[in-house]
Amino acid sequence: MPKISVGRDDEDREEHGLKGTGIIGKHLVGEKEEAHKANSIHFDLARPHVMGVFGKRGTGKSYSLGVLAEEIQNTDISQNLSTILIDPMGIYWSMKRPNDRAAGALEEWDLTPEAFDAKVYIPEGKVRNFEEREMPYDDTFTLDPSELSAQEWSMAFNLEANSEAGILLERVISKLDESRDNYRIEDILNLMDRFDFPEEVKNRLENRFMNAQDWGIFGEKSTLDKLTEREELSIVDVSVFGEMGSGWSIRSLVVALLAKKVLRQRMTARRIEEIDEMEGLSENEMPIVWMLIDEAHEFLPRDGETAASHPLLRWVKIGREPGVSLALATQQPYKLHPDALSQADIILSHRLTAKQDIDALGNIMHTYMRHDIDHYIDALPDRVGTGLILDDNSERIYPLQVRPRKSWHAGGTPDAFED
């Protein structure tokens, strides 16, 4: 039977075959309950991509993001890849455990339960929170406050840029950026007193920076570099911020600095790789980085802006050249930034029911759909894990059944039934 590979052009198919791919699931042939599994669907991992993973609650969106992470780890080119999984809900730590409860389902796919050597990173200042609750983690990370722009601080503090506090913030950060390479929050607070602004404005901004010290994400230097090691699956657990009113703003700061740093590193590495290629050398200077983001519409929203919006849009628009891939998972594709939707070259969508979300998906696919998007969704069997995969490279749509997870999935729905 012919092989199905999405995200790969004819030249790569001819030269590399299925090397550098992963298996996301199997092609469904037929409609509704008569649909049966046929060929495996491979997807390209060697080239940079923007991927959307969609589905209403309970249809397998987060589950499928975990399948993608597993395949990146198991591919035959994993030594040239690095994976960062942004986990706002605290559910992906379980990838360190084998999925023994799905052993039977895995056997039908000629697979076995497998634990993955994932490293769970948490904010350094939140260690006590995790240890008191006996929540597992492997290492910590810190951010350098001097790497944040005044605009990013403003968005984190929910300040209008043209407000008095926003103007004071801009002047303080600009002054520090001119005079030194690195500075701490204490330096920001000390400099603030030198500016001629009303005390009430200064106090309001000082309170915000003092609160920021309690976020637990800032240190003497950034330690984000360790998240891009070869063959490593780094799970950045930012679920602890869900208890704070500004939780999503803090999470967005983490993603913003991480996205900026990785893109900058890959752009530098790509220049070196180009020189090496001219001299006949082929090893990459730095691994190709995949960033997988759950609840992506909170970081890159359709309406408004977060600290992560601009850095992530840079990945969307120019990431192909330096070599960074982005997988954005959300229950509500309509709420995702339209540039991310339009630039996605691979879409994996489970069942959607909200009209706005269906229309958003249809607008992406309309150029090569024979039918309305509702037809393809209605034809899916009513089983968890079924969906559609859109390949912009071949301009094809495939109904599919996502394969079972090899590792434990902690994002399932709890119930009140007794065992």
Domain boundaries, given as residue ranges, for the chain: 4-26+43-141+223-349, 146-213
**Average pLDDT for 330-355:** 94
CA dihedral 63, 34, 31, 44 (to 10 degrees): 40
**Average pLDDT for 387-413:** 90
Residue 416 has pLDDT above 60, yes or no: no
Which DSSP letter does residue 204 get?
H
Q: Where are the beta strands (DSSP E) in 117-199?
A: 118-123, 139-141
Q: What confidence tier does 140 reach under pLDDT thresholds 50, 70, 90?
A: very high
- Quick one: CA dihedral 155, 160, 162, 167, positive or negative? negative
Q: Considering only the C-alpha atoms of the chain, give the largest distance between any 2 of them, rounded to a whole number of Å.
A: 75
CA distance 43 to 67: 12
Contact 300, 328 (CB under 8 A): yes
Residue 137 has pLDDT above 80, yes or no: yes
Residue 401 has pLDDT above 60, yes or no: yes
Q: What confidence tier does 418 reach under pLDDT thresholds 50, 70, 90?
A: low
Residue 419 has pLDDT above 70, yes or no: no
CA distance 93 to 116: 10
CA distance 280 to 262: 26
Q: Which of 119-133, 183-197, 203-217, 370-384 has the lowest mean pLDDT?
A: 370-384
Q: What is the pLDDT of residue 273?
A: 77
3-state DSSP assignment of residue 361: helix
CA distance 188 to 176: 8
CA distance 143 to 349: 34
Q: What confidence tier does 350 reach under pLDDT thresholds 50, 70, 90?
A: very high
Tell me which residue of 160, 164, 344, 126 sits closest to 250, measured CA to CA. Answer: 126
- Type of residue found at 352: L
CA distance 55 to 37: 20
Question: In the beta sheet, which residues pair with residue 85?
Answer: 235, 292
Which DSSP letter does residue 32 get?
G
Contact 340, 313 (CB under 8 A): yes
The whole-chain average pLDDT of the chain stands at: 91
Q: What confidence tier does 312 reach under pLDDT thresholds 50, 70, 90?
A: very high
Residue 114 has pLDDT above 90, yes or no: yes
Residue for token digits 């700061």? 253
Structure tokens at 134: 């006996």
Residue for token digits 């492997």? 138
Other CB atoms closer than 10 Å to residue 128's CB: what's the count?
A: 9
Gap between the terminal Cα atoms of the chain: 44
CA distance 332 to 328: 11
Contact 399, 379 (CB under 8 A): yes
Rounded to the nearest 5°, which phi and psi values hold at 172?
A: -65, -50
Contact 381, 409 (CB under 8 A): no
Contacts of 12 (CB under 8 A, 6+ apart): 44, 46, 47
CA distance 24 to 405: 10
pLDDT digits (tens, 9 = 90+) for 264-297: 999 998 888 787 666 665 666 789 999 999 999 9
CA distance 82 to 214: 30
Q: What confidence tier does 413 reach under pLDDT thresholds 50, 70, 90?
A: low
**Average pLDDT for 29-33:** 91
Tell me which residue of 319, 329, 395 sits closest to 364, measured CA to CA. Answer: 395
Check residues 88 and 411 and name the one with the higher pLDDT: 88
Q: What is the pLDDT of residue 181?
A: 82
Q: Which of 116-130, 177-191, 273-287, 317-331 has the lowest mean pLDDT?
A: 273-287
pLDDT digits (tens, 9 = 90+) for 255-264: 999 999 999 9
Check residues 375 and 250 and name the one with the higher pLDDT: 250
Element (H, E) at 50: strand 50-54
Q: What is the pLDDT of residue 414?
A: 57
Tell me which residue of 295, 188, 195 sits closest to 242, measured CA to CA. Answer: 295
pTM reported for the whole predicted model: 0.94
Residue 227 has pLDDT above 60, yes or no: yes
Q: What is the pLDDT of residue 363?
A: 81
Structure tokens at 269: 């590495």
**Average pLDDT for 407-411:** 90
Phi-psi region of 107 (alpha: psi -120 to 50; beta: other; left: phi over 0): alpha
Contact 88, 328 (CB under 8 A): no
Q: What is the pLDDT of residue 25?
A: 96
Rounded to the nearest 5°, which phi and psi values hold at 210?
A: -65, -35
**Average pLDDT for 37-61:** 94
Fold of the CATH domain 4-26+43-141+223-349? Rossmann fold (3.40.50)
